[in-house]
Amino acid sequence: AQSVSQHNHHVILSEAASLELGCNYSYGGTVNLFWYVQYPGQHLQLLLKYFSGDPLVKGIKGFEAEFIKSKFSFNLRKPSVQWSDTAEYFCAVARMDSSYKLIFGSGTRLLVRP
């Protein structure tokens, strides 16, 4: 069965530190890839997405992610985090040859200390 793994469940950083959150998936075919963010008390918001083309994708608020097909990875990065980035981050994968349902990782809780 397809799965999405986020290995970091909790991450604590100080402001201005660099961030990298790992995401790996287990499906070998063509996929669409997403990162969603859920700020405290708010609903899920799309951070960025990859469909095809340039594997380095830039999203909102200075986030970017790199799709490495050979590693089945789609890691999220930000060079300098801010206190306002405190949130839960979800990686998600949709297979292109199935029902297109979005399968989520278990999420990473990021706490940024001022």
Work out whether 101 is an interface residue with another protein (CB under 8 A).
Answer: yes
Nearest approach, Cβ of residue 28 and another protein (Å): 17
Spatial CA neighbour of 3 closest among 27, 23, 22, 21: 27
Confirm if 23 and 71 have CB atoms less than 8 A apart. no
Backbone angles phi, psi at 83, to 5 degrees: -55, -35
Spatial CA neighbour of 25 closest among 111, 110, 102, 88: 102
Work out whether 96 is an interface residue with another protein (CB under 8 A).
Answer: yes
The residue (of 18 and 61) whose beta carbon lies closer to another protein is 61
Work out whether 56 is an interface residue with another protein (CB under 8 A).
Answer: no
The residue (of 71 and 101) whose beta carbon lies closer to another protein is 101
The residue (of 46 and 56) whose beta carbon lies closer to another protein is 46
Summary count for the chain: helices (H), strands (E): 0, 12
Work out whether 26 is an interface residue with another protein (CB under 8 A).
Answer: no
Which residues contribute to the site for another protein (CB under 8 A)?
32, 34, 36, 42-46, 49, 51, 90, 92, 94, 96, 99-107
